[in-house]
């Protein structure tokens, strides 16, 4: 195994591989394994997700927030409640989306991922509601920027990029005069593109100047943007999204980032996965320091026998997606 840097995520829990459990260890053929189904989202989570999308569509189409704020808070209460009881169901609902349609999907997903991370880090339920609002409204300022800029397939001009960077400030101004909106929500919205190393915008703040909610929203926003389809590229898998975040970890709060990666790297033992090589395999075990790079059992290319593939030692190979049983 390769040497692990001292600052690698989860370095405090580095240990042996979580060995294959007995049930799976005794299986001789991949086809014998009962598969985990990632698409299994319960009806309640699905309905909450759709309701959140619909209310965001109303807000974006009307370009008005205040008339829909009460209805929005009711939906967010349901969303937070579901994330507190069955977080995996809301996460699966969010991960199913791949289109970069701002009007609802990205907004709802950032909301889900932000509350998911906030919940794990110990934010109180009453505050999670306000974090949810910040997540779902963080990009509302995009409505003020011409659609042709967002939909441009080529590189943005300097002037266009400057316009794009106005959106977090514009989002802030859309909400600042609404008395129901909490101050922390406003700060999170304003700071969701700020980075710990000072490389972000609109103000280039860094380290202790960056509010907790700005840090949370920043991670959620980048993760969902990277795993969403854009006009100029296809969507990356959510596993690639986790790796991208870690490769850019100097820009984010490492404690929050480690927590996010650790808790979003769910590969139940026995899950069937599709690799970027086109091979399919079964999850057999994990490294505690890198749960998003598990041990996968794949068939040999000649079709005779199987290999254990350690993704922690094969950095060019990654998981594209979890797949269903045929």
Domain C-terminal end among 212, 235, 258: 235
Query: What is residue 24's predicted lDDT score, i.e. its pLDDT?
Result: 32
The residues near 35 (Cβ < 8 Å, ≥ 6 apart) are: 270, 271, 272, 323, 324, 325
pLDDT > 70? residue 271? yes
Greater confidence (128 vs 87) lies with 128
Do 67 and 168 lie in one domain? The reply is yes
Least confident stretch, 40-44, 51-55, 92-96? 40-44
Query: What is residue 315's predicted lDDT score, i.e. its pLDDT?
Result: 79
261 in Cβ contact with 248 (< 8 Å): no
Domain presence at residue 159: yes
Do 32 and 168 lie in one domain? The reply is no
Query: Among 172, 54, 45, 169, which residue's Cα sits nearest to residue 112?
Result: 45
Query: What is residue 68's predicted lDDT score, i.e. its pLDDT?
Result: 96
Do 210 and 160 lie in one domain? The reply is yes
Domain C-terminal end among 235, 257, 291: 235
Do 163 and 116 lie in one domain? The reply is yes
Domain presence at residue 197: yes
Domain presence at residue 251: no
3-state secondary structure of 211: coil
165 classed as catalytic: no
Give residue-wise pLDDT tens across range 56-111: 999 999 999 999 999 999 999 999 999 999 888 898 888 876 555 555 889 999 99
Report the CATH number that the domain containing residue 98 is assigned in CATH.
Answer: 1.10.3210.10
Q: Is-above-0.85 flag for pTM? A: no
Do 125 and 270 lie in one domain? The reply is no
Query: Among 178, 168, 95, which residue's Cα sits nearest to residue 130?
Result: 178
Greater confidence (181 vs 276) lies with 181
Query: What is residue 272's predicted lDDT score, i.e. its pLDDT?
Result: 84
Query: What is residue 266's predicted lDDT score, i.e. its pLDDT?
Result: 64
Do 184 and 121 lie in one domain? The reply is yes
Do 219 and 295 lie in one domain? The reply is no
Query: What is residue 247's predicted lDDT score, i.e. its pLDDT?
Result: 87
Q: Where does the pLDDT of residue 10 fall: very low under 50, low under 70, confident under 90, or very high at 90 and above?
A: very low
Domain presence at residue 247: no
310's enclosing H/E stretch is: strand 306-310
Query: Could you say which of 2, 28, 66, 142 is catalytic?
Result: 142
Alpha helices in the chain (DSSP H): 22-25, 43-62, 69-85, 87-95, 107-120, 125-137, 147-150, 158-164, 167-175, 183-191, 212-226, 238-247, 254-264
Domain presence at residue 248: no
Give residue-wise pLDDT tens across range 157-175: 999 999 999 999 999 999 9
Q: Percentage of the chain with pLDDT > 90?
A: 50
Q: What are phi and psi of 11, to 5 degrees?
A: -60, -25
Do 135 and 275 lie in one domain? The reply is no
Least confident stretch, 54-68, 217-231, 234-248? 234-248
Query: Among 242, 239, 237, which residue's Cα sits nearest to residue 261?
Result: 242
With 0-12 / 13-18 / 19 or more C-beta atoms within 10 angstroms meaning exposed / middle / buried, residue 44 is: middle
Do 93 and 212 lie in one domain? The reply is yes
Do 299 and 162 lie in one domain? The reply is no
Query: What is residue 3's predicted lDDT score, i.e. its pLDDT?
Result: 35
Query: What is residue 139's predicted lDDT score, i.e. its pLDDT?
Result: 95
Domain C-terminal end among 219, 235, 251: 235
**Tokens at 135, concatenated:** 């997540």
Do 199 and 60 lie in one domain? The reply is yes
For the chain, the domain total comes to: 2
Do 185 and 316 lie in one domain? The reply is no
Q: Where in the sequence is the domain holding 142, given as residue range(s)?
A: 43-235
pLDDT > 80? residue 194? yes
The residues near 303 (Cβ < 8 Å, ≥ 6 apart) are: none
């Amino acid at each position: 195994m390769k040497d692990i840097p001292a600052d690698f995520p989860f370095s405090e829990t580095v240990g042996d591989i979580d060995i294959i459990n007995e049930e799976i260890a005794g299986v001789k053929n991949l086809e014998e394994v009962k598969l985990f189904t990632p698409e299994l989202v319960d009806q309640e989570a699905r309905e909450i997700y759709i309701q959140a999308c619909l209310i965001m569509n109303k807000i974006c189409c009307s370009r008005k927030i205040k008339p829909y704020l009460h209805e929005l808070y009711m939906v967010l209460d349901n969303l937070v409640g579901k994330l507190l009881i069955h977080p995996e169901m809301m996460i699966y609902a969010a991960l199913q989306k791949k289109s970069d349609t701002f009007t609802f999907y990205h907004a709802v997903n950032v909301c889900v991922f932000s509350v998911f991370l906030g919940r794990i880090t110990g934010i109180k339920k009453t505050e999670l509601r306000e974090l949810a609002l910040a997540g779902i409204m963080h990009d509302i300022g995009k409505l003020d920027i011409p659609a042709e800029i967002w939909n441009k397939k080529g590189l943005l001009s300097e002037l266009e990029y400057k316009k794009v960077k106005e959106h977090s400030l514009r989002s802030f101004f859309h909400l600042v005069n609404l008395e129901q909106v909490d101050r922390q929500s406003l700060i999170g919205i304003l700071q969701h593109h700020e980075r710990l190393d000072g490389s972000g915008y609109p103000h280039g703040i860094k380290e202790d100047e960056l509010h907790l909610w700005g840090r949370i929203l920043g991670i959620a926003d980048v993760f969902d943007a990277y795993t969403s389809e854009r006009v100029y590229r296809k969507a990356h898998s959510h596993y690639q999204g986790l790796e991208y975040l870690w490769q850019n970890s100097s820009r984010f709060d490492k404690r929050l980032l480690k927590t996010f990666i650790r808790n979003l790297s769910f590969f139940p033992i026995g899950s069937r996965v599709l690799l970027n090589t086109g091979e399919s395999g079964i999850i057999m075990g994990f490294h505690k320091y890198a749960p998003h790079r598990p041990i996968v059992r794949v068939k040999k290319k000649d079709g005779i026998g199987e290999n254990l593939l350690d993704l922690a030692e094969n950095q060019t190979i990654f998981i594209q997606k979890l797949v269903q049983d045929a």
